């Protein structure tokens, strides 16, 4: 354990504050991915990916992709009713499954799904799993289409200033990651598959450089980084983990369809777009 910069006593890496003096240490997920062993492992994976690209003549294209991902954004997904609440209620917060179920504003998932969710989050985050909000890394502000009621998924594009000090990334969906690496309660997380927000481009290159070829067009980068057609089973993306809640001020823009099925839904979208304009937020139209 590193010493607390305020009192010098050992400070657990999974704590947000020093238990001795209360000094704020930072988001625990960020502290975890910034340990030297994790950062070095990611750097090595990224360098190996660039070397493979050079061998097949794709290095310039991969470096172009890397530059693009330096400006990528985190997009959290939500349903249309949840979006309306966020833009219309001044005190509304984007929470998560655990806190919503605990606060009795939603029912828990079916027993098996609930157990799986809690197990996966415990493996990745331990005691602070109930403070994590999930998003996906995107180049065009469009997020996962597979979240939201009745297929109405809307993307909340988060401002860098709102998440840079509390966001980390995992190479893929948490469930898939745990399954792919055969993780159990006794497992140590494999190194090099997580990154800080600042180093997100390294994770993108480490994961996706083999999908970039000399003739890959920059217009293809967005779908390489995030692929989602509405089926969670086929989603491919880099997962963003945000410590703590956020509100409408954390959002720069919203992506979604202006004309969803059903006159009731279309009316809600019209109201939402008007409120977003008042908040100074952009609308990104999707098909």
Using DSSP, state whether 251 is helix, strand or coil: strand
Residue 192: how many other CB atoms lie within 10 Å: 21
Q: Could you tell me if 113 and 39 are in contact, meaning their C-beta atoms sit under 8 angstroms apart?
A: no
Sort strands 251-256 and 282-285 into parallel, antiparallel or unpaired. parallel
Q: Which residues contact 31 (CB under 8 A, 6 or more apart)?
A: 13, 14, 25
Mean pLDDT of the chain: 92
pLDDT of 93 reads: 92
Four-CA torsion 252, 258, 262, 266, nearest 10 degrees:
70
Q: For residues 28 and 13, is the Cβ–Cβ distance under 8 A? A: yes
CA distance 24 to 22: 6
| Parallel, antiparallel or unpaired: strands 73-79 and 2-3 | unpaired
Residue 222's Cβ-count burial label (10 Å; 0-12, 13-18, 19+) is: middle
Any idea which residue has 């919503």 for tokens?
100
- Give me the sign of the Cα torsion angle 168, 174, 180, 183: positive
Express each pLDDT in 171-213 by its tens digit. 999 999 999 999 998 899 999 999 999 999 999 999 999 999 9
Query: Can you tell me whether residue 242 is helix, strand or coil?
Result: strand
Residue 150: pLDDT above 60? no
Residue entry with tokens 């993780």: 183
**136 touches 223 (CB < 8 A):** no
C-alpha to C-alpha distance for 208 and 227, rounded to whole angstroms: 12
The contacts of residue 36 (CB under 8 Å, 6+ apart) are none
Tokens representing 58 are 């794709």
Note whether 195 and 202 are within 8 A (CB).
yes
The pLDDT confidence band at residue 61, using thresholds 50, 70 and 90, is: very high
For the chain, how big is the Rg over CA atoms in Å? 20
**Confidence (pLDDT) at 104:** 47
Buried (b) or exposed (e) across 2-41, using 16+ Cβ within 10 A? eebeeeeeebeeebbebeeeeeebebbbbbbbbeeebbeb
- pLDDT number for residue 146: 78
How confident is the model over 154-176, as pLDDT tens digits?
999 999 999 999 999 999 999 99
Q: Which residues contact 22 (CB under 8 A, 6 or more apart)?
A: none
Mean pLDDT in residue range 94-111: 68
pTM, entire model? 0.94
Which tokens in the block code for residue 6?
Answer: 């305020």
User: Rounded to an integer, what distance in angstroms lies between the CA atom of residue 284 and that of residue 142?
Assistant: 8
């Amino acid at each position: 354990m590193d010493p607390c910069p305020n009192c010098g006593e050992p400070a657990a890496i999974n704590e947000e504050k020093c238990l001795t003096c209360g000094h704020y240490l930072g988001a625990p997920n960020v502290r975890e991915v910034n340990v030297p062993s994790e950062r070095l492992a990611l750097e090595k994976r990224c360098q190996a990916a660039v070397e493979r690209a050079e061998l097949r003549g794709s290095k310039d294209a991969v470096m172009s992709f890397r530059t693009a991902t330096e400006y990528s954004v985190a997009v959290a997904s939500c349903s249309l009713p949840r979006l309306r609440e966020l833009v219309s209620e001044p005190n509304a917060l984007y929470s998560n499954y655990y806190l919503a179920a605990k606060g009795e504003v939603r029912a828990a998932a079916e027993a098996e799904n609930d157990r799986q969710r809690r197990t996966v989050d415990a493996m990745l985050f331990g005691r602070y799993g109930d403070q994590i909000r999930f998003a996906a890394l995107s180049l065009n502000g469009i997020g996962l289409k597979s979240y939201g009621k009745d297929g109405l998924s809307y993307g909340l594009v988060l401002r860098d200033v709102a998440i840079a000090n509390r966001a980390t990334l995992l190479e893929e969906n948490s469930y898939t990651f745990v399954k792919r690496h055969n993780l159990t309660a006794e497992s140590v997380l494999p190194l090099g598959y997580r990154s800080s927000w600042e180093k997100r481009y390294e994770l993108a290159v480490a994961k996706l450089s083999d999908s970039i070829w000399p003739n890959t067009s920059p217009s293809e980068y967005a779908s390489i980084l995030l692929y989602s057609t509405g089926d969670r089973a086929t989603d491919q993306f880099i997962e963003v983990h945000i410590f703590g809640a956020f509100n409408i001020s954390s959002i720069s823009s919203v992506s979604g369809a202006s004309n969803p099925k059903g006159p009731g839904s279309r009316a809600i979208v019209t109201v939402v777009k008007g409120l977003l304009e008042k908040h100074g937020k952009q609308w990104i139209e999707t098909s």
